[in-house]
């Protein structure tokens, strides 16, 4: 494909959500949903074209390789499903912080900033776009206008902003060291033995790592994920965290072939495995099911970081896990949204016997939990398997063992809780002396409809297809790795 065509595709990819954001603000009822849905469909179609073109290199102000193409299609897809699911979820919010037209507009801008971060050819613009994701998503976290959601929004914005300022230092150091910020110029360049580039990676780890939920900078993550509306939680977990990992990996990969590469690789592996272990341990002891899913996202990001740092087949596994996790986790959050609408509680103690009341959503939620914790044959399993295989093949058996512990502990911790919640005995009502578990059967608000079931189902199917048939993705990722 000619350079100008490829550039136009990227322009279209960014123009779609930008136009959706502008049209959503028109003062006409219903236009906001239609505009956002149309823009998200356009983004999916364009990202499919970009994915199919397979072009690598700089195209005007954009940069395209296997990783950026995978990110673009993942972001567009989860953006589309979140907009569609919003039509079911947000009208049930009684007293929203902002009008719905602003909600949809901000959702579009949120997607725009993530797409920009993963497609531009300039590390400075990558930083600007990631910083802008905070601006566009802060209000979305507080949409439900509850004490906890407003508190979560404040914590999210302050902690993430303070962290991201560190990654600006990383950008400054890269420029001071190399005299350019263009990814296409920097890729493959010999970095020498100075201290500046390792420092840049270190500051990127602190800054982008904060946004990706890497421990110990993760304290905002469980709060924001659990308090945001479910479609927003799905976007946070499925695509925002990987977008930050993308920026970190871009900076880290500049060190390839330099003297400090091994040291920084071990640093990233250390932070990644620590994050995954911590999240796997905490996850099984949560009392709030959305918070439990948030820790599962943290666990996945830790594993993905380990995969990218290991390189080789581990990096391909990390790319596969990014896509599979995005679809599976968004399915889990949509399922959690259905449960929240029906039971009006996020407490697992009050939400028992879900499958008896929400037949489809209950089963979908349980399956999604299996998918995100790496149950075969879902895509997350394939990604995790490839990462542990790379650890074994490079002879790092201690890391392979730690990964196995994380997989096992996380799998048992999350699924034990979700099975109890979905298939456990419903609590008896207050008349029989027990704690009520949400509204009585037959008096539920409309808690399932075809939209609320079809969207998580479709995402779960994609997560499954990635696991069973993943050759195109493998090829794309391998191209990015230069094999």
Partner 1 sequence: MILSALYLQSQTFVDPTIRAAAAQSLILAALFVVLFLQSGAADLLYLAAITAGIRGVLIPVVMLYQVRRFKHSLRESGTGQRVPSLVIVGVILVIAGYALFKTALLPTLSNPSVSVPFVLVLLSFLLIVTRRNALTQMTGFLEEENAVLYAGALIAPSIPLLIEFAVVLDILGVVLVGVILSATRDVLRTLESPELEQLTG
Residues that bind partner 1 (CB under 8 A): 97, 122, 124-125, 127-128, 131-132, 134-135, 138-139, 142, 145-148, 150-155, 157-158, 161-162, 165-166, 168-169, 171-173, 175-176, 181, 194-196, 199, 222-223, 226-227, 282, 285-288, 291
Whole-number minimum distance, CB 99 to partner 1, in Å? 14
Q: How far is the CB of 200 from partner 1 (least distance, A)?
A: 11
Nearest distance from C-beta of residue 154 to partner 1, angstroms: 5
Q: Is the dihedral of CA 124, 130, 135, 136 positive or negative?
A: positive
Least Å distance, CB 124 to partner 1, is 4
Radius of gyration of the chain (CA): 21
Nearer to partner 1 by Cβ, of 76 and 133: the residue is 133
Q: How far is the CB of 264 from partner 1 (least distance, A)?
A: 16
CB-CB contact of 14 with 113 (8 Å): no
**Residues belonging to the chain:** 483
Give the relative orientation of helices 450-468 and 313-343 as an angle to the nearest 10 degrees: 160
Least distance CB 150 / partner 1 (angstroms): 5
Kindly state the smallest distance separating residue 38's Cβ from partner 1, in Å. 27
Cα distances from 344 to residues 148, 334, 352, 410, 448, in angstroms, run 15, 15, 12, 27, 14
Which CB atom, from 131 or from 448, has the smaller least distance to partner 1?
A: 131
Q: Least distance in Å: CB of 327 to partner 1?
A: 27
The residue (of 39 and 113) whose beta carbon lies closer to partner 1 is 113
**Cβ nearer to partner 1, comparing 31 with 169:** 169
Burial category of 63 from C-beta neighbours within 10 Å (exposed 0-12, middle 13-18, buried 19 and up): buried
Quote the CA–CA distance of 382 and 199 in Å, as a whole number.
33
Q: Which residue's CB is nearer to partner 1, number 229 or number 383?
A: 229
Cα–Cα distance for residue pair 219/74, rounded to 1 Å: 25
Instruction: Determine the number of helices (DSSP H) and then strands (DSSP E) in the chain.
Output: 20, 2
| Helices marked H in 57-180 | 66-89, 100-119, 123-141, 147-178
Nearer to partner 1, 288 or 396 (CB): 288
Could you tell me which residues come within 8 angstroms of residue 110 by beta carbon, excluding any fewer than 6 positions away?
133, 136, 137, 140, 235, 240
Between 197 and 241, name the residue whose CB sits nearer to partner 1: 197
Residue 129 CA, chain-centre distance (Å), reads 16
- For residue 120, give Cα distances in angstroms to 60, 69, 284: 9, 12, 39
- Smaller CB separation from partner 1, 188 or 194: 194
Residues 6+ apart with CB under 8 A from 126: 117, 120, 247, 250
């Amino acid at each position: 494909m000619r350079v100008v065509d490829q550039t136009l595709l990227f322009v279209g990819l960014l123009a779609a959500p930008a136009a959706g954001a502008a049209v959503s603000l028109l003062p006409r009822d219903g236009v906001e949903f239609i505009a956002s849905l149309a823009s998200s469909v356009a983004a999916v179609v364009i990202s499919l074209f970009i994915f199919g073109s397979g072009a690598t290199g700089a195209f005007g102000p954009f940069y395209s390789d296997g990783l950026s193409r995978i990110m673009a299609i993942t972001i567009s897809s989860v953006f589309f499903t979140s907009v569609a699911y919003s039509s079911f979820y947000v009208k049930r919010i009684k007293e929203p912080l902002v009008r719905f037209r602003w909600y949809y507009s901000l959702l579009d801008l949120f997607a725009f900033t993530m797409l920009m971060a993963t497609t531009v050819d300039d590390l400075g613009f990558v930083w600007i776009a990631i910083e802008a994701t905070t601006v566009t998503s802060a209000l979305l976290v507080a949409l439900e206008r509850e004490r906890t959601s407003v508190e979560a929004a404040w914590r999210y914005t302050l902690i993430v902003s303070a962290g991201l300022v560190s990654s600006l230092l990383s950008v400054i150091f890269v420029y001071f060291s190399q005299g350019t910020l263009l990814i296409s110029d920097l890729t493959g360049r010999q970095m020498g033995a100075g201290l500046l580039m390792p420092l840049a990676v270190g500051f990127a780890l602190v800054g982008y790592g904060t946004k990706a939920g890497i421990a110990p900078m993760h304290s905002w993550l469980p709060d924001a994920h659990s308090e945001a509306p479910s479609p927003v939680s799905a976007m946070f977990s499925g695509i925002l965290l990987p977008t930050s990992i993308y920026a970190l990996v871009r900076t880290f990969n500049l060190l390839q072939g330099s003297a400090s590469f091994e040291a920084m690789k071990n640093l990233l592996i250390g932070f990644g495995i620590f994050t995954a272990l911590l999240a796997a341990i905490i996850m099984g002891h949560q009392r709030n099911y959305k918070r439990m899913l948030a820790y599962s996202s943290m666990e996945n990001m830790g594993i993905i970081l380990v995969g990218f740092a290991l390189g080789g087949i581990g990096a391909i596994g990390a790319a596969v896990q990014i896509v599979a996790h995005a679809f599976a986790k968004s399915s889990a959050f949509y399922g959690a949204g259905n449960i929240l609408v029906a039971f009006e509680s996020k407490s697992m103690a009050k939400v028992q016997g879900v499958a008896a009341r929400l037949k489809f959503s209950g089963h979908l939620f349980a399956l999604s939990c299996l998918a995100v914790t790496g149950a075969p044959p879902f895509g997350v399993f394939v990604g995790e398997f490839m990462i542990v295989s790379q650890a074994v093949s490079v002879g790092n058996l201690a890391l392979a063992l730690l990964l196995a512990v994380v997989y096992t502990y996380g799998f048992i911790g999350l699924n034990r809780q979700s099975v109890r919640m979905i298939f456990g005995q419903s609590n008896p009502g207050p008349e029989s002396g027990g704690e009520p578990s949400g509204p009585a059967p037959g008096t539920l608000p409309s808690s399932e409809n075809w939209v609320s079931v079809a969207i998580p189902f479709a995402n779960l199917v994609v997560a499954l297809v990635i696991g069973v048939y993943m050759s195109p993705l493998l090829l794309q990722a391998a191209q990015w790795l230069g094999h």
